Amino acid sequence: MARPAQLSDAWRDRLSMLSRWAAVTLGAYALTVFVTAALSVVLARTMGRVEAVTAATIASFAVFAFASMAAFHARSALRAWTWLILFAGFSGLILTIFSE
């Protein structure tokens, strides 16, 4: 029974690596989409819409860099996804509250 177990371990590692890279790239990007949109509608309450769009987008690249590094460093791919989804959900909530 040792061999099939090993094989499935190797596949689990491979899948977990794939899932982690998906979190680092696509996941971090999806989070950035929500954070940028949320930040822009919040800022739009205090400054002009055009200004808010520019300010939030300038910040978006830093958000992505931080999110992807955090996702790569997370203890497991599952944890990375959990945090990404939690933060994205929170930003999504702010986005719906603040946009008319």
Partner 1 sequence: MKAGLRQSMAALHTWTGLVPGWILFIVFLFGTVAFFNEEISRWMRPELTAAPISSRALDAAGAILKDKGAGAASWNLSMPAPRDGDGFGISWIPAGGSFKDRQKLTLDPVTGAETAVRDTKGGFFLYRMHFDLHYMPVMWARYLVSIAALAMLVAILSGIVTHKKIFTDFFLLRFGKGQRSWLDAHNVTAVLALPFYLMITYTGLVTLLFTLMPWAISANFPDREAYYAEAFPSAPEVEPSGRQTAMLPFNALLRRAEQAKPGLYPSVISIRNPGDSEAVVEMYMRSDTLGGAREPLQMRATTGEIISMREPRGPAAATQQVMIDLHAGRYSGIVLRWLYFLSGVGGTVMVGSGLILWTVKRRAKLPDPTRPHVGFHLVERLNIGFIVGAPAGIAAYFLANRILPTDMADRADWEVNSLFIVWGGLFIWTIARPAKRAWSEGLAAGAALFALVPIASAITTTRGLPASLMAGDALFVSFDLVLLATAGFFAFAARKVTRHQPKSAPRRKQRALEEAMA
The site for partner 1, by CB under 8 A, has a size of: 37
Asked whether 64 and 84 are in contact (CB, 8 A), the reply is: no
Rounded Cα distance, 22 and 9, in Å: 20
Nearest to 88 by CA among 39, 41, 31, 33: 31
Distance of closest approach, residue 93 Cβ to partner 1, in angstroms: 14
Distance of closest approach, residue 20 Cβ to partner 1, in angstroms: 8
Choose the stretch contacting partner 1; rule: CB under 8 A; options: 4-12, 73-81, 82-90: 73-81
- Residue nearer to partner 1 on the CB measure, 3 or 45: 45
Q: What letters, b where the CB count within 10 A reaches 16 and e where it falls short, cover 5-29?
A: eeeeeeeeeeeeeebbeebbeebbe
Q: Give me the 30-69 binding string for partner 1, x by CB under 8 A, dash otherwise.
A: --xx--xxxxxx--x--xxxxxxxxxxxx-xxx-xx--xx
Query: Applying CB under 8 A, which residues contact partner 1?
Result: 20, 24, 32-33, 36-41, 44, 47-58, 60-62, 64-65, 68-69, 72-76, 95, 99
